[in-house]
Amino acid sequence: MRKEKLQTLSMILLEWVILLAGILGLIINFIKAPAVDDALSSFSYYTNQSSLIVVILVGIRIYYRIHKKEIPKIISLFTIASTSWLLATCLGFIFLLSAIYQPVGIKIISNILLHYLTPLLMLLYFFISKSKIKIKKSLSFFFISYPLLYGIVSLIRGAIFKVYPYWFLNPTKMYPDGIGSYGNVLIVLFVMVAFFIILGYLLLWLHIKVKGESIDR
C-alpha cells in the first residue's frame, strides 16, 4: 500500500515537472525567435513538435487525475509512443546536431530542457507509470507513425517553400548544409523507420522487464 502511494506520488510529481519543463522550453524558443515568422516556423522543428505533443499528453493525464477519472487507453498508448519520440529528440540532437548548434544566452536553458531533461524524465515516467493498455508487438510499428509523417511533410514543405528544418532532410544542398539528394533523404527515412521500430521493441521489452507483463501476439 505504501509502495503504491509512493509510486502515485512520484508519477504526479513527474507529470508536473515534465509539463512545466516542456512549456518553459517551448516558450523560450518562441519568444527568443528573431521575428514572428521565425517564432511560428520554430514549430516545424521535430524537437518543438514532439515536446508539444508530450506537453499536451501529460496535461491531459493531469486533467484526468485531478478529476479522478480513468485515463483513456489511447492516451496511454500515445504516452508510451511519445517516450520513443522524445528519446529520438535527445539522441538525434547528441549525434546529429550538437556539433553545429551552439545555443547562447537563455536558449541554453531551453536546449537543456527540451533536448535532455524532458526526454530523460519521460523515460523515467515510462518506467514508473501504470500502463492502461494491453501490450502488443504490433504497437512498435505505431511508434513510427509521427516521425515518418514528420519526415514526409517536411519534404513536401521544403519542396514548396525551399525551407527544410534539418540538414539531413535537405536534398538540395551538400553537407553540412544538406544531404545532397532525394536518394540520401530516402536512406535517412529508411534508417529513421528502422530506428523507431527497434526503439519501439526495446521500450516494450523494458516495459515487460519492469512491469512483469507479457506481450500479446
Q: How many CB atoms lie within 10 A of CB 120?
A: 13
- Distance (Å, whole) CA 146 – CA 217: 23
Write the CB contacts of 68 (distance below 8 Å, at least 6 apart in sequence). none
Cα(78)–Cα(53) distance, rounded to whole angstroms? 9
Alpha-carbon distance of 4 to 137, in angstroms, equals: 28
The pLDDT of residue 136: 65
Residue 216, CB half-sphere, CA atoms under 13 Å: how many?
6
Q: Which three cell numbers stand for residue 15?
A: 507529470
Q: What would the pLDDT profile of 136-145 be if each residue is shown by its tens digit?
A: 666 767 788 8
pLDDT(91) > 50: yes
In the predicted structure, residue 110 carries a pLDDT above the cut 90: yes
| pTM for this model (two decimals) | 0.86
| pLDDT greater than 90 at residue 118 | yes
pLDDT for residue 216: 46
Overall average pLDDT of the 126-143 stretch: 68
Q: What is the mean pLDDT of residues 113-123?
A: 94
Please give the Cα distance from 10 to 196 (Å, whole number).
28
For residue 192, pLDDT over 50 is answered with: yes
Domain-by-domain residue ranges, the chain? 1-133, 134-217
Query: How high is the pLDDT of residue 130?
Result: 63
